[in-house]
Amino acid sequence: MSIMDSLKAKAKADKKTIVLPESMDKRTFAAAEQILKEGIANLVIIGTPDEIAENSKGYDISGAAIVDPFTDPNRQKYIDKFVELRSKKGVTPEAAEEMMTKDYMYYACLMCKCGDADGAVSGACHSTGNTIRPALQLLKTKPGISSVSGFFLMEVPDCEFGDNGLFVFADCAVNTDLDSAKLAEIAGLSAESFKMFTGGEPKVAMLSYSSMGSAKHDDVTKVADAVKMAQERFPEIEIDGELQLDAALVPSVGELKAPQSKVAGHANTLVFPSLEAGNIGYKLVQRLAKAEAYGPVLQGLSMPVNDLSRGCFAEDIVGVVAMTAVQAQLASE
């Protein structure tokens, strides 16, 4: 069974309500039909009757709840909540109403905030920034978490490394400016995500071009400092570094370069030192090793909201909805 089949089964066992705000895209409806058919989640699709009629042609979405942001009976409740949350930033009832009806992602996040949905998935026609911004403004980060980060759940075929070819790669999608404190925080969040989605015990490697001081540079020091911070903040998690990639994954190399490390040679959760390294790294593995790359999945928000690639297929939306549902299960415990 693939990891995605496992995640779908987990989602089905305790169905959550996920909002899809991109009713202007036919891929939303192709995905919705499959999600409803497989029973992965309860769905809310936000859109006007014209948008729904035009883009859902040929798809059976009869099991989804359709919310028209212009006539929804809960509309005033959401306007009031928006103003409550953002009045200090100058948001008036009129401004809230305009933002909610122009950008359905705000409406989706307000549904989550008011307890009418468990999570949201967007990004097929919106940038990552336009997906994350409403979530940060309305849902905020988890207590004690300073920023949102993104990871990919990687499933590499015929792979002896990681957890039978399963890995979390972070951050590959969100943070362009990573200091030691953010890297340490990402290490803890990524470990939590690995355990949530795979059921395995995370072994977190903080990656660099140096292993345990073999090179000297400010970039290496940044990662080494992050390791110390992460180990102090998350003492229950196995986190080590700085490690080169081969030292993190290959037992013989890990034994040679970091013989005292419990992580070296056995890592399944890889924290990259920069966004560009993470983004390049996951795409290399995806393309050259023919790996499945599920994500980017966002971590650090108080409620699950996830992003899609604008080049995604309907099947990708199905997968991200399943992952969002699993995150929502944990959030509700």
SS3 46: strand
* Percent of the chain topping pLDDT 70: 99
The rounded distance, in Å, linking the Cα atoms of 46 and 24 is 10
User: Which residues pair with residue 297 across a beta bridge?
Assistant: 151
Residues 6+ apart with CB under 8 A from 92: 83
Q: Is 230 exposed, middle or buried (0-12, 13-18, 19+ CB in 10 A)?
A: buried
Confidence of residue 331 (pLDDT cuts 50, 70, 90): confident
Average pLDDT over residues 202-207: 98
Which residue from 82, 40, 87, 42 is spatially nearest to 66, judged by alpha carbons? 42
Q: Is 89 left (phi over 0), alpha (psi -120 to 50) or beta?
A: alpha
Two tokens, residue 317: 């939306």
Q: Is the peptide bond before 296 cis (omega within 30 degrees of 0)?
A: yes
The rounded distance, in Å, linking the Cα atoms of 2 and 88 is 47
Write down the mean pLDDT value for the chain. Answer: 94
Inter-helix orientation angle 314-331/3-13, to 10°:
50
- Given a contact cutoff of 8 angstroms between Cβ atoms, the answer to whether 249 and 161 are in contact is yes
The rounded distance, in Å, linking the Cα atoms of 279 and 44 is 31
Average pLDDT over residues 128-154: 90
pLDDT tens digits, residue range 216-255? Answer: 999 999 999 999 999 999 999 999 989 999 999 999 999 9
Q: Is the pTM of this model over 0.85?
A: yes
Cα dihedral sign for 258, 261, 267, 273?
Answer: negative
